[in-house]
Amino acid sequence: MPDPVLELRGVIKEFGDAVVTRVLHGIDLRVMPGEFAALIGPSGSGKSTLLNLVGLLDRPTSGEVRVQGERTDALADDERTALRARCLGFVFQFTT
């Protein structure tokens, strides 16, 4: 079986220091080659937060993000940039 193109394991994301807001509460997700996935949910549910992690634009508070089988948490910023350039594409919500 091929590696998932994208895999999340137990991803938690929190914002804030004095007041901590937990936005993602342990996300497990696997997307296989050729699979089409859509992320839906109400405003404020954490879609952009999740996509920022998947796109290697932000780092999770804990948990793993793997892109084409490669763990990204231990990668330096320049290595994350190279992986992003090689494997990921974006169309942002706001383009102007």
Ligand X SMILES: Nc1ncnc2c1ncn2[C@@H]1O[C@H](COP(=O)(O)OP(=O)(O)OP(=O)(O)O)[C@@H](O)[C@H]1O
Q: Point out which residues bind ligand X (CB under 6 A).
A: 15-16, 21, 23, 41, 43-49
Tell me the β-bridge partners of 84.
Answer: none
Residues 21-50 that bind Mg ion (CB under 5 A): 47-48
What's the CA gap between 20 and 75, in Å, rounded? 25
Binding status of residue 68 toward Mg ion by CB under 5 A: no
Beta strands in the chain (DSSP E): 6-15, 21-31, 62-67, 70-71
CB nearer to ligand X: give 21 or 95: 21
Which parts of this chain interact with Mg ion (CB under 5 A)? 47-48
